[in-house]
Chain A
């Protein structure tokens, strides 16, 4: 579905991503992990053309640079980690914006299944009760769910999630990851998410890309990537022992 070859991103003199390559197929959930400054979020921005990059990214066999904005939005949806709506839009209005790329015709009026998709997205994220509320009155976790509902209403084939568990309590973290897992069961879909929590990455991811200072440490199936050796290289500490220690404390 998505093929990235030798992606390099520079901010001035600084190289943020250096020759990163990976390939995502339908049904796969890629977890992008690594310490702060590894280039994880930049990688997602490169896929959505948010930052200029060298290398080649193809989506469904076509260079992403050849997609028009609404074409790309029909295929790729992105959930950012921070949200701050500027005005008092209702939850429903923000979720409905996800249908922008599906609207056709004069003044983008036509979208036959738009209302159903918005209703489904609100139901899936448990936001029906809040549909008429102003987004300015919501908590960080509720806001995260609103934008998750928006990206679900967008109905893309590839879902990009930048630290999706941000602002969410444990209950919603669990719900969110289960929900994405169910979403992925429909054929022709894939997910790439940036995560800090390696336990979640190991539990839900099918594949992983481990980065350090913009370079690939390892990529492939999660079990092959999250080895003590690779984690030591990426984070510069014995992550495996530390996490085992954490869980051991719970077992006691």
Chain B
């Protein structure tokens, strides 16, 4: 019998079901509790193009909660997928958009747009969104160019080192901007801490398009990432075109992170913590691990966002603060137990 080493079709269905159930829970829950049946009916009618009765339900579900929950699900899936891919590619469990400076670069771009008052008439979000994506791309290009100038083989250790230095530089430039931002301070700080409040269907479409294109690229590179995760030299010896794969994965991941940063700001720890938790269950084989990571990331960020908007209601916490607090505790716990048990969490 042929062995199944990839992600089976029933895994995709189970993952999708988990995401949809969590989505329903999150759309129903909040300061106003909504009935699941009623919520489903409103969404189904809206999707089917049938008339929906005007009222509070319609407004809360279709205009406020659904786009927000969808943004959380897609951002979570994308960030976790990027983290898992980078950790495999760079053979480093600490690799992530935030540790490589891609997120910080994107945040810097958006903050610059706010401070300099850059705007596009008629498209209020386009300037900060565009700048975040541009700077995420730019950060990656700069990191890879510097790494290439120092080391033609683009060794992962060089990329990580330059990424960490770049991340620190971008963060200090961001602090500098905050110092001189005057009355725009609140807008920038809230944005750098991450928030999915007020997201609309344009944001959902941006994330959906990004995940469909770049997410597919990342998931399709599972075999190559397995080879990288065993060792870059070994990957070359078994026939993986290492430079091409590395560039492909890094560009796809940075584009996706740029899109997430442009929609929800800096949401840390998702790309770090979710792949770790998933790896404990699925093992490190990226052909199984990456799809599960994607679903788990979606569920994780939807629940975290629910917590952020309900735990101290009516005050809403920045989602980045909540993910970092949960992430730090879970991360330490995983490492503590795995080291104590003499077993690697990786």
**Would you call A97 and B234 a contact (CB within 8 A)?**
yes
- Which of A2-10, A64-72, A166-174, A182-190 lines the interface with chain B? A64-72
Chain A, Cβ-Cβ closest to B156 = A86
Cα A68 to Cα B243 in complex, Å, equals 12
**Would you call A85 and B238 a contact (CB within 8 A)?**
no
How would residues 93 to 105 of chain A score, 1 for a CB under 8 Å from any chain B CB and 0 otherwise?
Answer: 1101110110100
**Would you call A85 and B239 a contact (CB within 8 A)?**
no
Partner of B241, one of A48, A69, A85, A89: A69
**Would you call A87 and B229 a contact (CB within 8 A)?**
yes
**Would you call A69 and B283 a contact (CB within 8 A)?**
no
Partner of B226, one of A50, A78, A88, A97: A97
**Would you call A108 and B223 a contact (CB within 8 A)?**
yes
Cα A134 to Cα B346 in complex, Å, equals 11
Interface assignment of B157: CB less than 8 Å from any CB of chain A: no
How would residues 48 to 87 of chain A score, 1 for a CB under 8 Å from any chain B CB and 0 otherwise?
Answer: 1010000000000000000011111110011010011111
Known: A89-B229, A89-B285. A96 touches B5 (CB 8 A): yes
Interface assignment of B68: CB less than 8 Å from any CB of chain A: no
**Would you call A101 and B233 a contact (CB within 8 A)?**
no
Chain B, Cβ-Cβ closest to A73 = B239
| Chain A residues whose CB sits within 8 angstroms of the CB of B181 once the complex forms | none
Known: A68-B241, A108-B223. A94 touches B230 (CB 8 A): yes
Cα A96 to Cα B4 in complex, Å, equals 13
Chain A, Cβ-Cβ closest to B3 = A115
What size tier do the contact residues of chain B reach?
Answer: 20 to 34
Partner of A150, one of B93, B238, B240, B285: B238
Shortest Cβ gap from B76 to chain A (Å): 23
Cα A80 to Cα B283 in complex, Å, equals 25
Known: A68-B241, A89-B229. A115 touches B2 (CB 8 A): yes
Shortest Cβ gap from A72 to chain B (Å): 7
Tally of A interface residues using CB under 8 Å: 37
How would residues 240 to 271 of chain B score, 1 for a CB under 8 Å from any chain A CB and 0 otherwise?
Answer: 11100000000000000000000000000000
Interface assignment of B236: CB less than 8 Å from any CB of chain A: yes
Partner of A88, one of B3, B91, B241, B344: B344
Shortest Cβ gap from B273 to chain A (Å): 16
Chain A, Cβ-Cβ closest to B342 = A137
| Chain A residues whose CB sits within 8 angstroms of the CB of B285 once the complex forms | 89, 93
**Would you call A100 and B91 a contact (CB within 8 A)?**
no
**Would you call A74 and B239 a contact (CB within 8 A)?**
yes
| Chain B residues whose CB sits within 8 angstroms of the CB of A151 once the complex forms | 237
Interface assignment of A136: CB less than 8 Å from any CB of chain B: yes
**Would you call B233 and A88 a contact (CB within 8 A)?**
no
| Chain B residues whose CB sits within 8 angstroms of the CB of A88 once the complex forms | 279, 283-284, 343-344, 346
Shortest Cβ gap from A143 to chain B (Å): 11
Interface assignment of B227: CB less than 8 Å from any CB of chain A: yes
| Chain A residues whose CB sits within 8 angstroms of the CB of B230 once the complex forms | 85-87, 89, 94, 97
Cα A108 to Cα B285 in complex, Å, equals 15
Q: Interface of B with A (CB < 8 Å)?
A: 2-3, 5, 88, 91-93, 220, 223, 226-227, 229-231, 233-234, 236-242, 279, 283-285, 343-344, 346
Q: A70-B240, A86-B93, A103-B223 are in contact. List 9 more A-B contacts (CB 8 A).
A: A48-B236, A68-B241, A69-B236, A69-B240, A80-B234, A87-B279, A89-B226, A96-B5, A107-B220
A-B contact pairs, 15 of them (CB 8 A): A48-B236, A70-B239, A71-B239, A78-B237, A85-B230, A87-B88, A88-B344, A89-B226, A89-B230, A96-B5, A97-B238, A100-B227, A100-B239, A115-B3, A134-B344
